[in-house]
Structures are given as C-alpha cells and as structure tokens.
Amino acid sequence: MAAIHDLLAQVQDEALRARLEQEINRLSKTKKFGLVFEGHLPECTPLYDIPVKKGAVVAKKAGAVSEMYEVSSIKDGIATCYHKVTEVMDEIPVEELVCVAEFGEPIYPYLKPIDSICNSDESDLWHSLIEADNYHALQLLEYLYAGKVDCIYIDPPYNTGARDWKYNNDYVDGADSYRHSKWLSMIQKRLRLAKKLLNPKDSVLIITIDEKEYLHLGCLLEELFPEANIQMITDVINAKGVSRINQFSRVEEYIFFIQLGDSKPALTNDSMLDFEMTGNYAQNAGDAIPWARMLRRGSNSHREHSENCFYPIFVNEEKEVIESVGYPPGKGNSRDNITTPAGCVAIWPMHANNVEGCWQLSRPKFVKAIEDGTAKLGRKNKLGQWSINYLNQGILNEISEGSVEIIGKDEKGAVILERKEDKLNSAKSVWNRKSHDASLYGSVLLSSIIGKRFSYPKSVYSEYDTIRFFVANKPNALIVDFFAGSGTTLHAINLINSEDGGHRRCIMVTNNEVSEDEAKNLLKQGYVPGDDEWEKLGIAQYVTWPRTKCSIKGIDIKGKALKGNYLVGDKPMADGFKSNVAFFKLGFLDKTSIALGRQLEKMIPILWLKAGAHGRCPQLQDGKKSMIILPENRFAILVDDKHYLEFDEKIKGYPEIQTIYIVTDSEAGYREMIAGYENRNTFQLYRDYLDNFRINTGR
Ligand SMILES: C[S@@+](CC[C@H](N)C(=O)[O-])C[C@H]1O[C@@H](n2cnc3c(N)ncnc32)[C@H](O)[C@@H]1O
C-alpha cells in the first residue's frame, strides 16, 4: 500500500491523481491488510447437563463434537438421528449421546459449586477456579467484570504440532496444514472477549508464547489492540537448551505485554538480566549519590551544537577550587583570545584529539549551580586534567521530592547528599533468572505437590515476577487466567499477597481435558467424556484443584508437609497461604425446563462473584423468599418488588452491603427503586432467568 501511495505522488495530472486517490481509499477500506487467516467450522460445545430429547442437536460422546446429528425420535433408550451434513440416518443409544451447541447459539450458563477451601478466617476474599471452556467462561466473565479486570495472564497452548491442544475437540498436529489458522481462530475469539474485561484506563494483558506462534500472535495483537502499548520480552526458561534440528538450541520463550491506558511495569531493584538480584541496579538508601560530568558526550556534544555552553572554567590549582567562570568566546572566535586570570588554569570542554566540545550547562546555570553547591571541581586525572561535576536534573528532582536529602556542605561549598529511599529502575527486556527454570520450579515443584500429573507448568517464580510488575502497586487487583492449566497463576498470586499483605483476587479458568493417552485408556475401559470416571482425571479436577488446595494447606497430595522454602520471601512452603478458593463448574441449563423465578438459587454464585466474592459463596435452597439479605457476602436481592419498602428499611441497617440486585421486569420501576442507592452498585435482574444470562449469541 505504501508503494502505491509513493507512485501516486508521482502522477502529474491532478484530476487523475485525485480520482486514483479516491479509488485507492475505497479499496483500502474493503480490502484487509495485515494478518489474513481462514475461518473454520464454528467451535461447538458438549452440554452434558442438558437431557437428550427429540429435536436436540447431539454428537457421540466418544466421537468428535463437530459430527452432529439431530434427534428425530427416541424409543426405548434408542435415538433415531440424522447426520446434520450427510443426512444419513442412524440409531444410537441415548446414553452414548450428548447435546451440542455451536458457538453462536444461545446457551444458559450457571456455576455449579464443586468444592471450596477456606484457609483464612481474617480475609473474607475468595479466589475462584472455574472448570469450563474458556470461551463460555469469558462470556460469563463479561457479564460479571466488563472493564474491571486489572491483569489477564495467559499461557495458551503453543501449537507445537505435537497434539498439545484441540480445536473442536480434535487434536491439532503438525500434519494439519490449517494448524496456524485454527490456532489463530481459537485465540482471536478469546482475545476479543478478554479485551472487554480489561480496564481500558489501566490494565495489562500478558501472553506467553514460543517460536511456533509468536509472529502470528504479534500481528493479531497489533490488529486487536491498536491503542495498546505492546512489548515482547524474552524469558530464559531453560538455560540448558532444547535442541532444534538445524537451529540454535532454544533456551527462551516470549512474553507479550499489552498495556492499556496508564499501565506500566513497576520499577525494580532487579534488572532481570544482569547477575542475579543485582543490588547495585537500585541505588539503595544510604548509597553514594552519583555526580555527573559537566562535559557533554554523545550526540550534540560539540562546540557548534551549543556555543553558549562553550566557556572556560578557571581553577585555582593550589587551592583546588573553581575561582571564576569565563564567558563564551562566541561563534568563530578562538578560545585563545580569552585571558586566564593569574594563578588559575582554564578548563575548557574538550574531547580527545583537541576537539572542542561543550558543557552540559550554560554559563548562567553553571554559575548558579556553583552558588547552590550543586556543581563542583572534580578530580585531576593522571594526565593532569581536571574534571568538573554537577548534579543532573534527575538528582535535583529527587532532592525536591525528598528521596535525596542535603545534609550539609563540604568545606568548598558543595552539597553533601544522602539517599533516603531506594531508587529503583526499569527492568530490562531480556530476563535471565534461574528461578524461571520451567523444569525445576515448574514440573519438579508441581510433582512435589501432586505427583506427576501435568506436563509443562510454568515456573511459579516466572509468573510471580511477570504478574508482579503490574500488580505490585495494586493490592486489590483482579487477575484472570483463562488457560490456567495446573494453576500456577493462583499459586503466584498467593505468594505476592503473602509478601505484602495484599488482597489481590484471582479467577482461573481451565477446561477438564484428559491427555490423549489417558483418553485412549479410558475409551478402552468403556468410559466416555461426561462419565465421572473420565471427568475426575481431567485437568481441572485432577491437577488444578488438588494443586490449589495443597499449596494453600502447605501439604502434598498424600497429606505430608511440603518441604523447603519459597525462593521469594524465604517462606516455608509448609506454612501454606492464608487464602480462600471456591471451585465451580460452568454448567448449562435446559431452556425448556426453566420455570420463571425458580432458578434463583442457581444464579447465586454468579451474583456472589459479581458482588466481589466476599465471604463463603452462599448456597440457598429456597428460591421462594421475597428478599435475600447477605451482609457477610455484601449483597442483597429484592426478589419480589412488592416488598420494596420492607427491603429498603432492612438494608439501611447494613452499610456493608455494597451491591443490590432488584428482580423486576420494569425498567421504570427499577430506576425508581434504586434512586436512594447512589453509593451502592445496583443491578436489575429480569424475572426470567434466561434473559439475564443468555450467552453465546455473539452479542
Ligand atoms: C499451556 S497450559 C497452561 C499451563 C499453566 N500456565 C501452568 O503453569 O500450569 C494451557 C492449558 O489451557 C487449557 N485449555 C486449552 N484450551 C482451553 C479452552 N478452550 N478452555 C479452557 N482451558 C483450555 C488446557 O487444559 C491446558 O492445561
């Protein structure tokens, strides 16, 4: 496109140029430039909770979900079905079938509580683990937290070609020529939803990736986040190296940071690149303050760049003081025309080979700096040349901010400074930390907790460092990981919170897939997805949840205390964490069997999450109440608006209730009822459950 514009500029005929310009503009609006990849069959979801009935779209539990049938009748447990594409009729036992929804068809989610761990009485804050396909979970999270999330960290499948992930329930391998476009279709859909969760004013999306997809991902990110500040850093995660045929041995992976609004990484005392925990990367309290050299170096450092900054400084060598400051000789005048006062030597800003340079400060500023004691005579080198020093603007700013203090003056009038607070710096963009070793602090650490159940977890410290850069100054941050795998992210957040007493909250989403070998094994034994025997070996139930519980309790899967200390904070692993987590499974309701108002208890976990997940998630049995007031969960629901006055009176006594849900189908009535609740968050719930939580409609 750029070349066309260059050629266009060469067209002499103005009218023709304008006409061509118009056509090109029209074309560039219709033609897509950038990352082009093919769309694929829509992804579909098995809905194990929904009963198979006449008219349902189904697939075989043991087959691919994309092979869909429509049930035309059911008799004696046998469904007569037509294949949706071939229209071939088949008779299949109902128990072998599962209902299926294509992405785009409305479905009705709820969160089914599976388990919980409460290891902190003091903190009423709860993290969550949601077992779900992340596409649906993200749609639900959009209802809950649109624009509210501070940090999303994801480690998606890297598309290695080694059947490490499934598209539409089918492994994608190296022989699949659509491998990259399938991966891009999958990730694009999820990133579009993820973007809606992020706080546009200040948040970050962090994505780890390796050489297989980093180029495609980078292009996609540019397209999806044109407004963001995107940076990719390199993280050494395996210094031993993994050999690649005819290539360099790989030691690293990449981390994309997509920063929205004011988001910026925290300053640090660790460069992340230089020798471990440099210490000298930060200027610690008590360290000497560096005085800068007055002689300008690098660009614009010659006399002709700044005649005002080319002047002599007269030094009394005997007393070792600056006696006076001469004037610039002016453009074209030789410095030899300037007379040096008796008893002094003239110091000019000179580079090697007698090249005339310039000072950092003009004469008036330098004279003022000497008066203030912020410029001084430096040392004499072996060649007998004096250096002149001054305090640069950074240090002067620090003096006015108070992190550096003037504690006196030396006998020649120069200030004596003391650093009061550590001065931190930006980390570098290549990270080389032993603690990021994915084998030692990922696989080995995870195995020590739950045994060998999961391949390729991240190092908990690499996640700790990565996320901490963006939440260090946000003690109440909300963090989401929707490719949670073994649950390293919550482990890292627990570590961050335990270090500084923060209340950061983490929501992890992971599916419950079993490994390919496991699946073969289970099928051989006659189990199919959806069976308890199958599901209990899935990642969410077999890996993420046990790791989460054990790391919080400080024990391994056999109940023995964990050995060793965490590398950060030197905290014994056996101490566990003061942390609470609720484990949910995203389920789907059958729209034909949901009667008005009856499903309120099913909505409670969703409402609890929306209200900030305070206190243990309540489980209500009786949906017939006219109101539900839950001070420990900080929310209340007016179920029957006829009882508004009574409700209003009651909640006056609970200032801790910050979120109010009102069930009404009348927008006007809702507005009227919330008029007095300006200081609380209020939400309208429709009487029909389905209208509140219909998802998957591509809205
Ligand atoms: C590379 S792993 C993440 C590993 C994780 N960072 C750790 O340290 O354990 C990616 C995980 O995402 C999960 N996953 C893949 N596709 C998913 C989907 N569509 N919905 C939810 N989870 C998915 C897989 O189960 C896999 O465990």
169 C-beta closer than 6 A to ligand 1: no
Q: Are 174 and 180 in contact (CB under 8 A)?
A: no
Does the pLDDT of residue 145 top 90, yes or no? yes
Distance 618 CA to ligand 1 centre (A): 29
Are 236 and 361 members of one domain? no
- Which residues is 345 bridged to in the sheet? 315
SS3 490: helix
Kindly report, residue by residue over 80-112, the tens digit of the pLDDT. 999 988 889 999 999 999 998 877 777 788 899
| R_g over Cα of the chain | 33
Distance 495 CA to ligand 1 centre (A): 21
133 C-beta closer than 6 A to ligand 1: yes
Q: What pLDDT score does 36 carry?
A: 74
Q: Nearest residue CA, atom 24 of ligand 1?
A: 485
Q: What pLDDT score does 50 carry?
A: 85
For residue 193, CA distances in Å to 119, 144, 183, 270 come to 32, 12, 16, 34
Distance 132 CA to ligand 1 centre (A): 11
**CATH number of the domain that residue 93 is part of:** 2.30.30.30
Tell me which of 437, 459, 479, 483 to substitute to probe ligand 1's pocket, judged by most ligand atoms within 8 Å of the beta carbon.
Answer: 483
Q: Are 61 and 46 in contact (CB under 8 A)?
A: yes
488 C-beta closer than 6 A to ligand 1: yes
491 C-beta closer than 6 A to ligand 1: no
Q: Nearest residue CA, atom 13 of ligand 1?
A: 483
Q: Which two tokens stand for residue 31?
A: 């033609």
Average pLDDT, stretch 587-616? 81
Q: What pLDDT score does 4 carry?
A: 78
Share of the chain above pLDDT 90, in %: 69
Enumerate residues 6+ apart whose C-beta is below 8 A from 630.
Answer: 615, 618, 636, 657
Q: Which atom of ligand 1 is nearest to the CA of 540?
A: 25
- For residue 589, the 8-state DSSP code is -
Instruction: Grade residue 1 by pLDDT with cuts at 50, 70 and 90.
Output: low
CA distance 391 to 375: 6
Q: Which domain holds residue 97?
A: 45-105
> Does residue 345 fall inside a structural domain?
yes
Give DSSP secondary structure letters for 224-289.
Answer: H-TTSEEEEEEEE--TT-B--TTSPPB-EEEEEEEEEET--PPPBS--SSSSSS-STTSB-TTPPP
Q: Are 328 and 338 in contact (CB under 8 A)?
A: no
CA distance 670 to 177: 54
Does the pLDDT of residue 2 top 70, yes or no? no
Residue 475: how many CA atoms within 13 Å on its side-chain side?
Answer: 6
Are 412 and 441 members of one domain? no
159 C-beta closer than 6 A to ligand 1: no
Kindly report, residue by residue over 240-251, the tens digit of the pLDDT. 999 988 999 999
Distance 510 CA to ligand 1 centre (A): 6
Considering only the C-alpha atoms of the chain, give the largest distance between any 2 of them, rounded to a whole number of Å: 118
Q: Which atom of ligand 1 is nearest to the CA of 458?
A: 8
Tell me which of 437, 452, 461, 510 to substitute to probe ligand 1's pocket, judged by most ligand atoms within 8 Å of the beta carbon.
Answer: 510
Enumerate residues 6+ apart whose C-beta is below 8 A from 345.
Answer: 314, 315, 317, 386
Does the pLDDT of residue 264 top 90, yes or no? yes
Instruction: Grade residue 365 by pLDDT with cuts at 50, 70 and 90.
Output: very high
Q: What pLDDT score does 596 carry?
A: 45
Does the pLDDT of residue 663 top 50, yes or no? yes
> Does residue 116 fall inside a structural domain?
no
Q: Which two tokens stand for residue 333?
A: 């005048």
Are 481 and 570 members of one domain? yes
SS3 567: coil
> Does residue 112 fall inside a structural domain?
no
Q: Are 174 and 466 in contact (CB under 8 A)?
A: no
Are 295 and 399 members of one domain? yes
441 C-beta closer than 6 A to ligand 1: no
Average pLDDT, stretch 583-595? 78
Instruction: Grade residue 169 by pLDDT with cuts at 50, 70 and 90.
Output: low
Q: What pLDDT score does 43 carry?
A: 77
Q: Supply the pTM of this predicted model.
A: 0.83
Are 147 and 228 members of one domain? yes
CA distance 662 to 668: 12
Distance 486 CA to ligand 1 centre (A): 8
Q: Are 586 and 593 in contact (CB under 8 A)?
A: no
The DSSP element (H or E) to which 321 belongs, if any, is: strand 321-325
Q: Are 92 and 83 in contact (CB under 8 A)?
A: no
Q: Which atom of ligand 1 is nearest to the CA of 485?
A: 27
513 C-beta closer than 6 A to ligand 1: yes
Q: How many domains does the chain have?
A: 5
Q: Are 547 and 573 in contact (CB under 8 A)?
A: no
Average pLDDT, stretch 21-45? 75
Are 137 and 235 members of one domain? yes
Are 462 and 408 members of one domain? no
Are 434 and 486 members of one domain? yes
Q: Which two tokens stand for residue 84?
A: 């949706």
| Residue 615, number of CB atoms within 10 A of its CB | 19
155 C-beta closer than 6 A to ligand 1: yes
Long-range CB contact pairs, 212-216, < 8 A, 24+: 212/158, 212/159, 212/160, 212/161, 213/158, 213/159, 213/180, 213/183, 214/254, 214/256, 216/35, 216/37, 216/180, 216/183, 216/184
166 C-beta closer than 6 A to ligand 1: no
Q: What is the CA angle 381-387-388, rounded to 5?
A: 160
Are 145 and 253 members of one domain? yes
612 C-beta closer than 6 A to ligand 1: no
Q: Which two tokens stand for residue 585?
A: 């499974």
Share of the chain above pLDDT 70, in %: 94
> Does residue 110 fall inside a structural domain?
no
Are 129 and 245 members of one domain? yes
Average pLDDT, stretch 147-176? 85
Which of 577, 605, 640 is the last residue before a domain boundary? 577
Q: Are 293 and 308 in contact (CB under 8 A)?
A: no
Closest CA to 79 of 112, 103, 102, 51: 51
Give DSSP secondary structure letters for 358-392.
Answer: -BSS-HHHHHHHHHHTSEEEEEE-TTS-EEEEE--
Enumerate residues 6+ apart whose C-beta is below 8 A from 230.
Answer: 218, 221, 222, 256, 257, 258, 259
CA distance 580 to 616: 8
Q: What is the CA angle 506-429-466, rounded to 5?
A: 10
SS3 640: coil
| Residue 243, number of CB atoms within 10 A of its CB | 10
> Does residue 70 fall inside a structural domain?
yes
Q: Which two tokens stand for residue 179?
A: 């491998």
Are 549 and 616 members of one domain? no
Distance 110 CA to ligand 1 centre (A): 21
69 C-beta closer than 6 A to ligand 1: no
Kindly report, residue by residue over 442-495, the tens digit of the pLDDT. 999 999 999 999 999 999 999 999 999 999 999 999 999 999 999 999 999 999
Q: Are 515 and 521 in contact (CB under 8 A)?
A: no
Kindly report, residue by residue over 190-226, the tens digit of the pLDDT. 999 999 999 999 999 999 999 999 999 999 999 999 9
Alpha helices (H) in 12-158, listed in sequence order: 14-30, 134-145
Of the candidate ranges 33-42, 156-165, 555-564, the one whose mean pLDDT is the lowest: 33-42
Kindly report, residue by residue over 541-559, the tens digit of the pLDDT. 999 999 999 999 999 999 9
Whole-number mean pLDDT of the chain?
90
> Does residue 137 fall inside a structural domain?
yes
The DSSP element (H or E) to which 685 belongs, if any, is: strand 681-685
Closest CA to 155 of 213, 207, 84, 93: 207
Distance 133 CA to ligand 1 centre (A): 10
Sequence letter at residue 103: F
165 C-beta closer than 6 A to ligand 1: yes
Q: Are 215 and 248 in contact (CB under 8 A)?
A: no
CA distance 235 to 431: 5
Average pLDDT, stretch 584-606? 76
CA distance 674 to 258: 37
Which of 419, 440, 456 is the last residue before a domain boundary? 419
Distance 131 CA to ligand 1 centre (A): 11
SS3 7: helix
Q: What pLDDT score does 697 carry?
A: 56
> Does residue 600 fall inside a structural domain?
yes
Q: Specify whether the backbone of 272 is left (phi greater than 0), alpha (psi in -120 to 50) or beta.
A: left
> Does residue 201 fall inside a structural domain?
yes
Q: Nearest residue CA, atom 14 of ligand 1?
A: 483
Residue 651 burial by Cβ neighbours in a 10 Å radius (0-12, 13-18, 19+): buried
- For residue 497, the 8-state DSSP code is H
Q: What pLDDT score does 66 carry?
A: 78
Q: Which atom of ligand 1 is nearest to the CA of 454?
A: 9
Distance 514 CA to ligand 1 centre (A): 11
Kindly report, residue by residue over 9-26, the tens digit of the pLDDT. 888 898 999 999 888 888
210 C-beta closer than 6 A to ligand 1: no
CA distance 431 to 255: 10
**CATH number of the domain that residue 133 is part of:** 3.40.50.150
Tell me which of 511, 518, 537, 543 to substitute to probe ligand 1's pocket, judged by most ligand atoms within 8 Å of the beta carbon.
Answer: 511
Closest CA to 202 of 153, 147, 257: 147
Instruction: Grade residue 699 by pLDDT with cuts at 50, 70 and 90.
Output: very low
Are 195 and 93 members of one domain? no
| Helix %, strand %, coil % of the chain (to 5) | 30, 25, 40
CA distance 258 to 253: 16
510 C-beta closer than 6 A to ligand 1: yes
